[in-house]
Chains A and B, each alone.
Chain A
Amino acid sequence: MKTPTSGYQRPASLTDAAMHYCAGCGHSSVHKLLAEVLDELEIRERTVGVAPVGCAVFAYFYFKCDISEAAHGRAAAVATGIKRALPDRIVFSYQGDGDLAAIGLTETVHAANRGEPITVIFINNTVYGMTGGQMAPTTLAGQITATSPTGRNPATMGCPIRMCELLNTLEQPYYIERVALDGHGGMVATKKALLTAFQTQVSGKGYSFVEVLSPCPTHFRCSPQDSLKFVGQKMAAQFPVRIFRKEGVPVHA
């Protein structure tokens, strides 16, 4: 592992392609951290990713590992198939909140319920980013989006879904953690969570799930710096940042 005094090089698992994400987007940050994890665990050659539909749909341009595209929301099901056919591969799915928590909720819950030994990375930025910032299942109460112009009203639109808590009611998952990309500390915590999730799979333990509270400056309608504050203050208040399950055992707050 690199020590802080040895400098920093661009992760070898990232391609040279310029990412298409907006300035300050959480997707690019998580891509970078994921590439660092693939480098550190030396698993790039045997890793297969599954990309979602959403902003991260072009993830296959950016990683030097195999990536399969999945139909909208079905990344966990595709990852299940790949892992069962090729059990020696490291398989991860990378999904946003519209993909994982809305259209793909069934696949997500059942893959976790079966305890499939895959890693699911969930990018929660409270909006449908790619299609223009519409309300997602994870949109905060009162939050203004393109389809909730007066703010999300829980009476008619429901409350934000907490995916970690929901999956933690199941028996099979092995590791569940929620982290927040709210600054330098958040970047370090996210890297650590991703590292633990992949180590879980490398050692053949079971299902791992990492939810990353992620900034979307374009649809939060603020600067990248202010969007980090939104993540750290507003989002973290609704979605508690902690480990929910460790080594197959629920962790209580």
Chain B
Amino acid sequence: MKKHFRVAIDRERCKGCELCIPVCPLHLLAMSTTMNRKGYHVSETVRAAECLGCIKCARMCPEAAIEILNVP
């Protein structure tokens, strides 16, 4: 059975370094047009339902702001 994952990005931890964006094999991450409370543009998901759970983005994130959750 196919596993489903949810990409949970903590907007207030993200500093907009964009290191997570190029590592996603399915290009599911992009920069937001809005800012967080500190004034950073943050990373957000597009087509989030397609996530394969490879956790490359979470591994790259220096701030540990990305969590990949297993959706039952």
Contacts and interface: CB of A to CB of B under 8 A. Distances in A.
B23 A224 contact: no
A224 B19 contact: yes
A188 B12 CA distance: 25
Nearest to B65: A10
A8 B68 contact: yes
A4 B54 contact: yes
Chain A: interface size category: 20 to 34
B5 A7 contact: yes
A23 interface: yes
Interface in A1-41: 4-11, 14, 18-19, 21-26, 28-29, 32, 35
Contacts of B66: 8
Contacts of B15: 22-24
B59 A24 contact: no
A29 B61 CA distance: 7
A18 B17 contact: no
Nearest to B54: A4
A224 B13 CA distance: 16
A228 interface: yes
